[in-house]
């Protein structure tokens, strides 16, 4: 019988730091698979909304995987606080950036490149806002679309331009944080759900266009995740959603971040334009 073993011991802290490859041998008559535990070592990762919730967890997981972080957020103090939570704190940078403002985005991408000595090759579009209001009297549409959808467009454009113009090794990966609500819709969240549906289709268009330029684009559709954004949703709405979650609980930000890290790494090298649901079963 085929014996499958993985050198788990090679995944200890020492091997992690040295970036030694892990060899998984299935058996003499099957392929030997070689992979590296340091999936993102040496990469520069640009994260929007990195000062809170899922964005902050992404920064923590990506730093653990060896990436150098450019933590951006509209709230500079929050981004700076994220820096204090990252291993290898000195190498990471925090920058204030409004994703809905083209000038802010372009200036920040340039300053990230200047500070890091190379353009970022990994991008997580996570910044977002949400509100509850009936379609009959919702006046938050413009703001939500500007941040959640136009923001993803502007940052992806600046990222791809910078990487393709200045990257020595222009291989890149982008993960957009959409939402399962972009697929299912949700009463009294017209702007939010439309913006996230837009992010899903924008992901696929960017994926189709940038794959030939060695930039993979995918997205994650989180369900109900415990963050400051959900805290603002209110207990009443959370009570309505909870019975619809197959696992019967909300998710933790790091449960989304682990999937983001996978999608940014070469471990997902054959994934392009995918929408990965991280929902505990909600909306499947
Ligand atoms: P969060 O804790 O509120 O984090 C969002 C961050 O984005 C905050 O730091 C926020 O700053 C920042 N931000 C807001 N507007 C910005 C702008 N114009 N430019 C740059 N940064 C801006 O929310 P989260 O739950 O982690 O959400 C992260 C992403 O996941 C969002 O795109 C959200 O739609 C998506 N998502 C969340 C859930 C969930 O259940 N939590 C589910 C599905 C999808 P301020 O705090 O100062 O506004």
- pLDDT tens, residue by residue, 164-216: 999 776 799 999 999 999 999 999 999 999 999 999 999 999 999 999 999 99
Ligand 1 near 150 CB (within 6 A): no
- 119 alpha carbon – ligand 1 mean position (Å): 24
- If asked whether residues 95 and 226 sit together in one domain, one would say yes
Q: Which residue has the higher pLDDT, 261 or 170?
A: 261
- If asked whether residues 148 and 26 sit together in one domain, one would say no
Ligand 1 near 127 CB (within 6 A): yes
Query: Using CA atoms, how far apart are residues 189 and 230, in angstroms rounded to an integer?
Result: 13
pTM above 0.85, yes or no: yes
- If asked whether residues 110 and 235 sit together in one domain, one would say yes
- Best residue for ligand 1 mutational test, from 48, 50, 51, 54 (most atoms within 8 Å of Cβ): 54
- If asked whether residues 105 and 30 sit together in one domain, one would say no
CB atoms within 10 A of CB 42: 12
- Region of 109 on the Ramachandran plot (φ > 0 left; ψ -120 to 50 alpha; else beta): alpha
Residue 50 belongs to a domain with what CATH number? 3.40.50.720
- If asked whether residues 122 and 87 sit together in one domain, one would say yes
Query: Using CA atoms, how far apart are residues 154 and 194, in angstroms rounded to an integer?
Result: 18
Residue 284 lies in a domain: no
Residue 110 lies in a domain: yes
User: Domain tally for the chain?
Assistant: 2
- pLDDT tens, residue by residue, 235-246: 888 898 999 999
- 73 alpha carbon – ligand 1 mean position (Å): 9
Query: Which residues make beta-bridge pairs with 94?
Result: 71
Active site residue 192: yes
- If asked whether residues 34 and 55 sit together in one domain, one would say no
- If asked whether residues 55 and 34 sit together in one domain, one would say no
- pLDDT tens, residue by residue, 114-144: 999 999 999 999 999 999 999 999 899 999 9
Residues 6+ apart with CB under 8 A from 31: none
- If asked whether residues 125 and 221 sit together in one domain, one would say yes
- 31 alpha carbon – ligand 1 mean position (Å): 43
- If asked whether residues 83 and 118 sit together in one domain, one would say yes
Domain residue limits at 24 = 1-38
Residue 241 lies in a domain: yes
Residue 283 lies in a domain: no
Residue 191 lies in a domain: yes
Residue 221 lies in a domain: yes
| Catalytic member of 5, 192, 270, 282 | 192
């Amino acid at each position: 019988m085929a014996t499958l073993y993985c050198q788990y011991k090679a995944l200890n802290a020492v091997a992690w730091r040295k970036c030694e490859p892990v060899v998984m041998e299935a058996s003499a008559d099957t392929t030997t698979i070689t992979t590296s535990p340091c999936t993102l070592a040496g990469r520069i990762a640009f994260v929007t909304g990195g000062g809170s919730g899922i964005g902050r967890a992404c920064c923590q997981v990506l730093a653990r995987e060896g990436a150098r972080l450019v933590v951006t957020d509209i709230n500079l103090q929050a981004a700076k606080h994220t820096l204090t939570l990252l291993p290898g704190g000195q190498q990471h940078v925090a920058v204030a950036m409004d994703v809905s403002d083209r000038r802010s985005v372009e200036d920040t991408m340039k300053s990230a490149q200047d500070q890091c000595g190379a353009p970022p090759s990994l991008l997580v579009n996570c910044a977002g806002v949400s509100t509850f209001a009936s379609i009959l009297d919702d006046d938050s549409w413009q703001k939500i679309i500007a941040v959640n959808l136009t923001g993803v467009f502007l940052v992806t454009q600046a990222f791809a331009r910078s990487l393709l113009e200045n990257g020595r090794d222009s291989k890149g990966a982008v993960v957009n944080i959409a939402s399962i609500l972009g697929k299912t819709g949700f009463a009294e969240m017209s702007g939010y759900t439309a913006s996230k549906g837009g992010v899903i289709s924008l992901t696929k268009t960017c994926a189709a266009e940038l794959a030939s330029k060695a930039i993979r684009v995918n997205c994650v559709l989180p369900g109900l995740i415990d963050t400051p954004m959900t805290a603002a949703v209110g207990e009443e709405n959370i009570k309505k959603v909870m019975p619809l979650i197959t696992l019967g609980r909300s998710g933790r930000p790091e449960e989304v971040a682990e999937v983001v890290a996978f999608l940014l790494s070469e471990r997902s090298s054959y994934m392009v334009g995918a929408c990965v649901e991280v929902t505990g079963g909600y909306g499947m």
